[in-house]
Structures are given as C-alpha cells and as structure tokens.
Structure 1
Amino acid sequence: MKKILVLTAVAFAAMSSAALAGDPAAGEKVFKKCMACHAVGEGAKNKVGPALNGVVGSVIGKHPEDYQFSKALQEMGAAGKVWDEAALTEWLKSPKAFAPGTKMAFAGLKKDEEIADVIAYLETFK
C-alpha cells in the first residue's frame, strides 16, 4: 500500500510539473500584453519597465543595473531573492500582492498556463 501511495505521489508530481512547463511560442503571444512597458530580444531597452533579457534567475530588483526599481523590489534583492519560476509565477499573478509598494501597475495574468508560457518565453532570452 505504501509503495502505491509513493508511486501515485510521484506520478502526480510529474503530471503537475509537466502541466506547468510552458510553451515559449505561446508565451511570445502572451508577452504582447507586456510589450507596452517591457522589451526583450537583441537591442532591448528599458521602457516604463525594465528590459527583461536575462531576468530568469537574476536577483530581484537588480537586473538590469540601469533601471531604477521600487524600494519593495530592491529590498527583496538585498535579501537575496531571485526571479526563479516560483517568484515569477507569483509576480505575474499579482505584482502588487507579491511586492506591496511596487511601481508596476499591471494587474497580473489570471491563467496559470499563460504565466508558465511567458516564463518559458523569457527563459529563451538568457
């Protein structure tokens, strides 16, 4: 019985992980919602929000260096927090809930699949 429970838990974890694995091509389409304020790709420059090349895995509130982040994000970075998948997921769901005091006005993405897709897309810009 114990073995069945363990195998079921492993299978469920694998399915959950696979369900959250994003599609970069779909993420490119979802990213159009972000393009008014952010840029990615060769030659990307800061706009109202920072350019997002290399954001995945970077220290929160520090990348890119030439952008003035809110105090809320600077404090997270000072505490060593990074933009990993979990942090990006929470941020993209509700920036103001993730970092009260943030300058970002975007209300957030509501669909988990869109969030996973955008993160997968951003990962292509190392």
Structure 2
Amino acid sequence: MRKFSLVFASTALAFAAGAASAQDMGDPAAGEKVFNKCKACHAVGEGAKNKIGPQLNGIVGEKPGADRGGYKFSKPFQEWAADKTAWNQELLTTWLSDPRGTVKGTKMAFAGLKKPEEINNVIAYLASFDEGGAKRDPAEALKAAASQ
C-alpha cells in the first residue's frame, strides 16, 4: 500500500506540474484581442510590415534587436539587447509590462500591459506566428525559446 501511495503521489505531482506550465502559456485567441492595443505600431501575420515599430513575426525565440526587415532600433534598445539570447516568456513578460522602465530611452512609447493574464495571452498569440507569418504551435515555440 505504501509503495502504491508513493507512486500515486509522484504521478499526481508530475501531472500538476505539467498542467501548471500549460496554464502559464496563455490563450492565443485572447491574446489576439489584447494585440489590438499594439496594432497602431506593430503588425503580425502574413504580409506584416514594419510600422512605427517592427513587425513581430517569429519574434518568440529570436534574439532581441535582430534584423526585422530593416527596422532601426534605438541605441538604448540595441545596448540592452546585446547580451540577450532570445525573446522567451520571461524576457517578453519583463518587456511588455514596462518597456520604458526596462530600457530607458526606448522608442516604444507604450506604457505596458499591467495584467499578467493579458501579458501571457499576447505572448501566446505572438508565439503562434513563424518568421513568415504562418501559424505555428505556440507551445512548441515557447518551449524552444526557453531552452535558448
């Protein structure tokens, strides 16, 4: 009986950990609605072009400040991005919650998203686009970005 309880407890803990990480990803459909706050300056999806800010196709997993079709990042952003390896859940959360506080002198005028749920949802939405703007599995993109 004791062996069964130990196996059952281990299985339950593993399941709970998996469910928590899946929950943390956010909802891409809800993120699409949140992205409406970003559309004045950014585009995503097929045919996306740079606007005031860069187009964001394939940004999850990409090095911050990498070439975005000729977009010119501010010098403060380039300096901040120099030692960053990839836009992952953690880095995007920091950036989206307070861009101007994260990088003093950034061109991004947006004050940031304040609700953690909105941040997670918009990250999941962004993760659902590959470099060309085609749909991809956001969970896989976030998992790959986390390992960089």
TM-score by length of 2: 0.72
Residue 42 of structure 1 corresponds to 46
Aligned to 1:71: 75
1:29 aligns with 2:33: yes
Aligned residues: 122
CA offset digits 1:42-97 (Å, max 9, x no partner): 11000000000011111111241410001122123322432111110011100011
- 1:28–1:65 distance in 2 versus 1, CA, 3 Å: same
Q: Percent identity?
A: 57
Give the conservation status (yes or no) of the 8 Å contact 1:62–1:69: no
**Structure 2 unaligned residues grouped into runs of 5+:** 1-5, 131-148
Distance change (3 Å), C-alpha of 1:13 and 1:99: farther
1-side partners of 2:84 and 2:118: how far apart? 27
In the aligned structure 2, how far is the partner of 1:96 from the partner of 1:51?
19
- Structure number with bigger Rg: 2
Shift of 1:21: 1.6
- Give the alignment of 1:80-99 within 5 angstroms: 80-99=84-103
The answer to whether 1:58 aligns with 2:42 is no
* Structure 1 equivalent of residue 142 of structure 2: none
> Structure 1: which 5+ residue stretches go unaligned?
none
Runs of 4 or more, structure 1, over 4 Å off, are 9-16
